[in-house]
Amino acid sequence: MQLETLQVAAFASPSYNIKMQRFFRSKLKPVLFILTVSTLFAACGGGGGGDGSTSEPEGGDFLTGNPIVSTQFFGESGNLYKPASDETSSGQGNLVVLLSSQFTTQFDSCEMRKANGEIAQLICINDQPWTHVPFSCFSNGGRQTWRANFRCNEAAEVRVVCRDLNQEVTFTVPDAALGHVCTRFG
């Protein structure tokens, strides 16, 4: 019984309480702080992960390291989404997009996602005889004209991403119309 009394008395003594408080302040408090910060950091996804995977930005845009990223809408500022090109044009009946005349320098590439998941490159060529007027890259009021080698019903959505060294521009429609791939906008 005396041993139990001594142990209970030790826990009740003021000097023991002060020692325990000092112990918690000096040893456990920093450990708890580090654990809390580590948990928060891990929960927020910080640290850049090690599996090398990347995720798509909001809206499923295509990834690039370009410094300027912007969005424009078909049907505004001269941007035209045409589900079927003219019957007299190269690639007749295929999807074609015309971009605003504000884009005076040809993009390096424009692409769309097809319904099968494939990323399809659109064509805007100026170095072939058949691409010169009236079917050159800059036709129809000096607007870049990008042509698909597929029909509108093969497109996944009304979204075209164009890039050059300085920018990436996504041409699209309001979310409610994204699936209307065979509708003319503009």
**pLDDT score recorded for residue 151:** 93
Query: Which structural domain range is residue 14 located in?
Result: 2-43
Cross-strand pairs, 112: 120
Distance CA 85, CA 147 (A): 8
- Please compute the mean of the pLDDT values over residues 51-72 and round it to a whole number: 56
In a domain, residue 87? The reply is yes
Q: Find tokens 């041409």 and name the residue.
A: 171
**140-173: per-residue pLDDT in tens?**
778 899 989 999 999 999 999 999 999 999 999 9
Q: How confident is the model at residue 31 (pLDDT cuts 50, 70, 90)?
A: low
State yes or no: pLDDT of 52 exceeds 50.
no
Looking at the structure, do residues 90 and 151 belong to the same domain, yes or no? Answer: yes
In a domain, residue 142? The reply is yes
Give the DSSP letter of residue 154: G
pTM over 0.75: no
- Please compute the mean of the pLDDT values over residues 54-61 and round it to a whole number: 42
Looking at the structure, do residues 76 and 110 belong to the same domain, yes or no? Answer: yes
In a domain, residue 118? The reply is yes
Question: What mean pLDDT is reported for the chain?
Answer: 75
Looking at the structure, do residues 85 and 124 belong to the same domain, yes or no? Answer: yes
In a domain, residue 50? The reply is no
Which tokens hold the place of 45? 């996804």
Looking at the structure, do residues 93 and 36 belong to the same domain, yes or no? Answer: no
Task: Tell how far CA 113 is from the center of its chain.
Answer: 13
Number of domains in the chain: 2
In a domain, residue 93? The reply is yes
In a domain, residue 183? The reply is no
DSSP secondary structure of 156-175: SSSEEEEE-SSEEEEEE--G
Residue 8 phi, psi (nearest 5): -65, -40
- Please compute the mean of the pLDDT values over residues 131-136 and round it to a whole number: 57
In a domain, residue 166? The reply is yes
In a domain, residue 186? The reply is no
**13-26: per-residue pLDDT in tens?**
556 556 656 655 66
